Amino acid sequence: MDQRTPPRHDSWTTDRQVRFLGELHYTRSVTRAAEAAGMSREGAYRLKRRPTAKAFAAAWDRILAAPPAALRPGHEGHGRGHEGHTAAGAAPAFHSGKGHNGHAAAEPRSTGNRVN
């Protein structure tokens, strides 16, 4: 029987991690990504340093190591509308996996020929 404690309402849930990584992918701004996730910039860096958040940290590093989406061959812009929200069908390349304290974490997902 699984008796994990539920995540706190202000914690880095899977949804928040995915939102952060997706926004980071499009904006390359930790501050804007943290705001989009409803978290602080400092909290994002704290999560990245946790030994239990290796998948999150690796995804973050891969995003910032890759060329911006707008500069990749075959991409027209970066799939976002003028309001700063992800356009329909332009889902970031992340899925949920096990992460911090046994809770789900965002991890890069294979996207075929797309460069992450």
pLDDT string in tens for the chain (116-residue length): 556 665 556 699 999 999 999 999 999 999 999 999 999 999 999 999 999 999 999 999 999 999 876 665 655 544 444 344 443 334 455 555 544 444 445 555 544 444 44
Give the per-residue pLDDT at 67.
84
Q: What is the pLDDT of residue 30?
A: 98
Instruction: Supply the pLDDT for residue 68.
Output: 77
Q: Which residue shows structure tokens 């946790």?
A: 50
CA–CA separation, 81 and 63 (whole Å): 20
What's the pLDDT at 65?
95
Entry pTM: 0.59
Q: Are 57 and 44 in contact (CB under 8 A)?
A: no
Q: How far is CA 71 from CA 17, 33, 59, 65, 78, in A?
A: 24, 20, 19, 13, 9
